[in-house]
Structure 1
Amino acid sequence: MKPNHTTNTATAENESKITNEKQMEHQPVVDDESHVASGKLKGKIALITGGGSGIGKAVAILFAKEGAKVAINYYKGEEDAQDAKAIIEKYGGEVLLIQGDISDEAFCRQLVDTTVKHFGRIDILVNNAGTQHHTESIEDIKTDNLIKTFQVNVFAMIWITQAAVPHMPKGSSIINTTSVTAYQGHKDLLDYSATKGAIVAFTRSLSASLVDKEIRVNGVAPGPIWTPLAMSSFDEESNKHHGEDTPLQRAGEPVEVAPSYLFLASKDASYMTGQVLHPNGGSIING
């Protein structure tokens, strides 16, 4: 089983030199030009981490098409982030790009402050950025990588949410990106899978914590998706077969995952909190 998604990573070096979508042999599909918007997020303000490429980019574009003003955090993928901005502006949307490393607590708070100063509030928080490091066995996990993986995938999610909640009105939505690996595990992504399991627990607990504030908290657990980080984590031969072990026998496109986030962000999911959606190519989930 290959790794699930990821978005624009918020951390340092990866296994290969793939750092943006244009370097990928398979170009990820991040926009459905045939989509007919219905204003589901009209007037909403969304902050999306890891929004420069992959799933986060597709989510940002779809949210903007549905009427939201979008703040996109990204780390190194400047070209991909600028492309996301151009697509959003082509559709008449408003977007704010905020570059920075969310493994730094101070930046996480700055990220929220910058968004609120620009847009006034946050209605939708998508904690999506992540990182992963391929290892052959538990003995190969480097402490520095272990710490960084938890900082980016878990600590940052908590820091950003802490800073954002005071600026989120009743009826707001928080959506956390977990992974199929939280449910099925992954022998070569031990620490990454552990963080994704933590995100599931955090999502369920946070939903109970914020119910009195009328803020819904849900998650999305993608399966194998065409993104730069997914490609950078494994070798070229393995990447050729990305997603072939799913029941649908292929990897998904970011644009196929984005509607799960739109559903959870909109009034369509008004009776859902503490739940996780599974766009994973048909993999059976236990737990």
Structure 2
Amino acid sequence: MTSLLGFLSAKKGKVKQHHFAHSSATCLPVANRDFPILPLYDNFNIYLSRKDLAQLKLLWKEYGSINYPISPGLVNPSLLKAGMFQKNVYLTPPAYEFTNLGKIPVGALEFSLFNEVQEPLLLKKLLKLELAAKHALYKNAADKLYRLTDLTLYRAQLQRILSCSLYFLEIQTNIGTLYKIGVTARPIQQRLAEIKVDLLPQYKTVAIQILGTWLHRGNVELYFKHRYHNYNYHIGSLTEYFKFGATDANAALHELQQMKDKVLSPGEIDILKDNISLSQVAMERRF
């Protein structure tokens, strides 16, 4: 597979930006194409224009946050087209309300509902990339290697979030309480040891309590940071810490606990096993 797609390497630092770099000549052509990113993973603006996003936030502040109906004259057609609002015909007169999708850019959608919105989009895009790659292979198209690369890159990203457990921690220090959201594919105790090493230069004492872990829920980490960005507390280059009051911390934990257990589909199980059948087909056909 590496002879076709180039070597893929994950880059990760303390300020996390997950991406995949090529070490072969496929990098340049792919760089000029749309990168096959996971839907609603690290960009929650639904690709709205700056003007539309500003209006969406204003409408949430003035109407959505208090569950008040929105007059049709206040809603841009582009926001309707993007699926941000739905008309409630049972109101007199009929008016618009935020959809679950429309609540995501403003960080207002609960985690359980966020999963219900995101998961079908993740699988829909996977199917689209698989069909494009199959078609390119069948037709022996000029862009078949790029189609396979797109599929492999997407599967690698999907594999990462599925292989990770989400965790939520309470951390008692000598000067107060912190909370941390994060993901790990390793035993949680190994990760806790690293976190303690990170924090001890900043605090005299560090005591960590695990509030919860959620298997295969790596997709939620960045949306948590988006939803609770007002509570985010940076410690140097460390970005996954939060300062909640006790009530807000309990509310965040309760919301996480309301998430349904992640049940893997056959396709997701295949991805976790790293079975990329299209690449095997390509090797057999010696493209």
- TMscore range, shorter length: under 0.3
TM-score by length of 1: 0.27
TM-score by length of 2: 0.27
Where relative contact order (Cα < 8 A, 6+ residues apart) is larger, the structure is 1
Q: Which has the higher helix share?
A: 2
